[in-house]
Amino acid sequence: MAKRIAKFEKVSFEQFKEGYLDAVGQDGDEKIQEVYEVLKLPKRATKGSAGYDFYAPVDIALKPGETVKVPTGIRVRMEENWVLQCYPRSGLGFKFRLQLNNTVGIIDSDYYYSDNEGHIFAKITNDTNEGKTVEIAAGTGFMQGIFMEYGITEDDDVEDIRNGGFGSTTK
């Protein structure tokens, strides 16, 4: 039986709005609130699925070579010594060469406690070499997250605490 080690939640509306305005652009509070209200928590498609599908908050259209930053509105609380690894959904990668810009998104367990509430973003690129435009409708799965347990070395003595997102642990 699989271990139950995590729980997905929405970030606060205020945090989502900040991420949305940065990534999507200037929309009014009413529009952003509408998007926020219908955000879906990640879930598995079948009992045998390893990945939890993340859903696009808005319609996304990417021409060949285009990139977009996606504010998922989602955070995850997980047990220590676990990590959430994020990948493009298999079908989008296969059909369109949709890529995550950092190849694999790594969401550490302590990211949940950051000032940005652990808001998970994805930066995706249409890396097609066939001239195809990727169209992802709002509410459609575009990324999948897989939980993995990890170990540390016997002599590991790290006590530092995270506060931030990308690159914050090396500042």
Mean pLDDT of 21-47: 95
Helix axes 13-23, 29-37, angle to 10 degrees: 110
Residue 167 has pLDDT above 60, yes or no: no
Positive or negative, the CA dihedral 115, 89, 5, 156 is negative
- Specify the fold of 6-29+39-150: Deoxyuridine 5'-Triphosphate Nucleotidohydrolase; Chain A (2.70.40)
Q: Which residues contact 74 (CB under 8 A, 6 or more apart)?
A: 8, 9, 10, 11, 39, 41, 42, 54, 119, 120
Please give the Cα distance from 144 to 52 (Å, whole number): 5
Percentage of residues in the chain having pLDDT higher than 90: 84
Whether 121 and 72 have beta carbons less than 8 Å apart is answered as yes
Residue 160 has pLDDT above 50, yes or no: yes
At 62, the pLDDT band (50, 70, 90 cuts) reads very high
Could you tell me how many residues make up the chain?
171
For the question of whether the overall pTM of this predicted structure is more than 0.85, the answer is yes
Q: Kindly list the domain boundaries of the chain, sorted by start residue.
A: 6-29+39-150
Mean pLDDT of 23-30: 91
Quick: pLDDT tens for 96-136: 889 999 999 999 999 999 999 999 999 999 999 999 999 99
At 162, the pLDDT band (50, 70, 90 cuts) reads low
Please give the Cα distance from 20 to 171 (Å, whole number): 25
